[in-house]
Every structure is written in C-alpha cells, then in structure tokens.
Amino acid sequence: MKLAAIGAALLAVGVVAAVTGVVPAETVWAIADRTWPIMLFVIAITVVADLAATAGVFDVVSASLGRWARGRTVALWLLVVVLAVLSTAFLSLDTTAVLLTPVVVRVARAHGLPPLPFALTTVWLANTASLWLPVSNLTNLLAEQRLGSIGPAGFLQLLGPSALVATVATVIALAVVNRSALTGRFAPVEPPSISDRGLVVFSASVVVVLLPWLVSGIAPWIPASVAALLLVVAFAWRSPHSLRWAIVPWQAVVFASGLFLAVGAAQSLGAGAVVAVVAGAGDDLFALWRVAGTGMLGANAINNLPAYLVVESAADSPARLAALQIGVNAGALITPWASLATLLWHRQLTGDDVSVRWGRFALLGLATAPVVVLLAVLPLAFGPQAS
C-alpha cells in the first residue's frame, strides 16, 4: 500500500500541474503515449511470472538446482547466479526480486544453508544484470524508445559488453563478500510434490516459448500479453481459486505512473537544465563516467526510474544514454529505495523472516556499485561500438 500511496500522491501532483498549466497538455499526452506499452508489459509479465510460480515452475527449477549442485554449496550458488541472470534478462529485475528471492531462500533453508547470501545474490544481480535486454528493466524500455526503437539486437550490441562486465564484476564481488558462506557441502533433499503436473508443464512451456518472442523485435507487451492470457485461461480451467486481483501489480503501476507524471512536471520547471550542467557533455571516457555517476547518484537519492527520466535529456548520444543506463541500473545497490526491485525484494524477505541490516547493505553497495559502474562504462569508450 505504501508504493500505491506514494504513486497516488505523485499522480495528484502531476494532475494539479497539468490542470494549472505547469505541464502542457501535449506533454501529458506524450508521456501517456510513451508509457502505456511499458505499463502493459509490466502487468503482463508479472502475471506470467506469478502464475508460473503458483503452478510450481520455480519450485521444480529450484529442486533441480539442488540436484545439479551435487551437494557442493558453491556449485548451488553458481547455479542461482545463472538463474538470476536469466530471470532478470528475460523476465525483468522485478520478477527476479519478487519471485526468485523466496525460491532461493527456500532452497537455502531446505539444504541447511544461510539464506541471506543467496538472497543478496538475487537483488544485486537483479539490478546489475538488468542491462542485457530492453525487457530487463523499465528504464531500458524507455532508453530503447529514445534510441529509435533499435530492438533487442541493437540494444544488445550497444550495451551487451557493458552488461557482461557488470554481471561478472558483480559475481566476483558477491563471491568475495560471501566467501565464508559458500564453502562446504550440503545434503540433497527430496523434490517438492506437484499437485497438478499438467499445469506445471503447460506453464513452463508458455514461459519457454515466450522468452525468444521477447527478443524477437516485436513490441514486448504483445507476446507477454498473449502468454498472460494463455495462463489465465489455463488457471481458470484447472485452478480458478489461484486467480486473484493481487497478481496484478497495480501498486507498482500506480507508483511508476506517478513518477512519470511528476518528473514531467519537474522538467517543465527547469530540472532538466540543472541536471544537464551536472551530467556534462561529450563521449570520451571521463564524460561517460560523469553521466553514469550522475545516474548512480540520482538513483540512490530518489530511485532509478525518476533519475533516468531527469537525466535522459542530457544523454544526447547512444554512448551517453548507455552510460546513463549503467549508472541508474548497475549503480542502484546502495540505498533501499534506489530501485523498485530492492523494495520488493525486502518485502519478500520480511515475509520469509529473513532480516536485512540496511547499514551493512549500504556499505557493501557503496564499496561495490561505483566499481561496477566504472568498469561497465569502459566498453562504451574502448569497445567496437565506440568507433
């Protein structure tokens, strides 16, 4: 409810700004036209992920991870890393935070392992591995529009090397931070019982078929909506009691919509000009570090979505826009509110009775995020796409 309340307040501010003329009507319509496909994708992909989890798809995957690890803790952790990266890249960082986090907590506890190192892995990779594809992050979808709808292939060509650097750097940092918890062995456990195997198979098939369509170049909301509709029909037939309004992420949609409109109002009042001075100009390495740093500071100060929107106008080239993406995505590791995914992650941990010390979280992020951002920007300045 807190997210919805904040979003409603921001929407109210935006409406007042529009009614009083602070935000021109054409600006409001432009914001709506730009954001409705993104909001529809968020709703659809969340429904797909939630229903797949309800069917037991993620439980089956987690049980498989335990078997494949053959009793080695570090092997189990590396498999969680792979799953977190794939989940984030194809199903978005919020899906990883909401659905994968409780799964890895259950996996860790079932094998007698401390859950927090595995949970920290999901939230860090949810943010830093969200550079891979347009569907990985809301900010990516906005940037892809800004770049002229270059599609997944063009996006991957621009940000793929940086995404690889950010992901590898994060995995190394996580291995160092959690090195003592990742040693030793564990005893395998029995796989979970499945009440409706047919629903699990169908749900898993829908997700597997959906993944390539998300990177096909078609607007992501279209295949995601089709997949969501297929799963809703299947659940209406096999498990109607599982269909509830709570699977629709209305709080996140209200929150994001309020941010979009409020940032539009702020930019109409001249916020963009101030940020442009801070972000600087140019495509050389130090200029790219500067815009990435501006994005990182903005994300940790106010949240990565409004930070991206405010700085976007100062990112006037593909390299600068990519650097901004690195800052607001990979840099959102320090404060709890830096990304919506981190807030959702914490809510999941609270429900599973896993406590998080925010002081330690912030210190670890402060030591890691700047390094990841600095390294991830290097391919933009020296890689093939820089020429």
Average pLDDT, the chain: 83
Q: In the predicted model, what is the mean pLDDT of residues 339-356? A: 80
The CA dihedral of 119, 121, 123, 127, to the nearest 10 degrees, is -170
Mean pLDDT across 219-230: 87
CB 133 within 8 A of CB 90: yes
Mean pLDDT of 46-58: 82
DSSP structural state of residue 192 = P
Q: Are 52 and 202 in contact (CB under 8 A)?
A: no
Query: Does residue 271 surpass a pLDDT of 70?
Result: no
Q: Taking residues 121-142, what's their average pLDDT? A: 91
Question: Which of 59-73, 172-186, 248-262 is modeled with the greatest confidence?
Answer: 172-186
> Which of 31-35, 89-93, 146-150, 363-367 has the largest mean confidence?
363-367
- Worst-scoring range by mean pLDDT, 2-11, 154-163, 181-190, 320-329? 2-11
| Token pair listed for 319 | 């390299």
Q: CB-based contacts of 353: which residues, under 8 Å, 6+ apart?
A: none
Question: Can you give the pLDDT at residue 253?
Answer: 75
Percent of the chain with pLDDT over 90: 30
Three-state helix/strand/coil letters over 312-352: HHHCCCHHHHHHHHHHHHHCCCCCCCCCHHHHHHHHHHHHC
> How far is it, in rounded angstroms, from Cα 311 to Cα 292?
10
Q: What is the mean pLDDT of residues 255-272?
A: 69
pLDDT band at residue 377 using 50, 70 and 90 as cut-offs: very high
Put simply, whether the predicted model's pTM sits higher than 0.75 gets the answer yes
pLDDT given for residue 24 in this prediction: 72
Task: Of 154, 102, 131, give the one whose Cα is nearest residue 372.
Answer: 131
Tokens coding 7:
């979003």
Q: Which domain holds residue 45?
A: 2-386
pLDDT at 49 over 90: no
Question: Residues 149-156: what's their mean pLDDT?
Answer: 85
Tokens of 307: 């930070």
From first CA to last CA, the distance across the chain in angstroms is 48
pLDDT at 294: 92
Query: Are the C-beta atoms of 158 and 385 separated by less than 8 Å?
Result: yes
β-bridge mates for residue 185, sequence order? 72
The band of 267, judged by pLDDT with boundaries at 50, 70 and 90, is low
Cβ–Cβ under 8 Å, residues 186 and 111: yes
Among the listed residues 336, 328, 331, 337, the one whose alpha carbon sits nearest the alpha carbon of residue 371 = 331
User: How many domains does the chain contain in total?
Assistant: 1
Best mean pLDDT range from 7-21, 145-159, 212-226, 260-274: 145-159
Q: What local confidence, expressed as pLDDT, does residue 175 receive?
A: 94
Q: Which whole number is the average pLDDT over 227-234?
A: 92
The region of weakest confidence among 117-126, 152-161, 293-302, 309-318 is 309-318
Taking the alpha carbons of 39, 122, 108, 347 in that order, is the dihedral positive or negative? negative
Whole-number pLDDT of residue 328? 94
Residues 84 and 96: their CA atoms lie apart, in Å, by 6
pLDDT at res. 3: 63
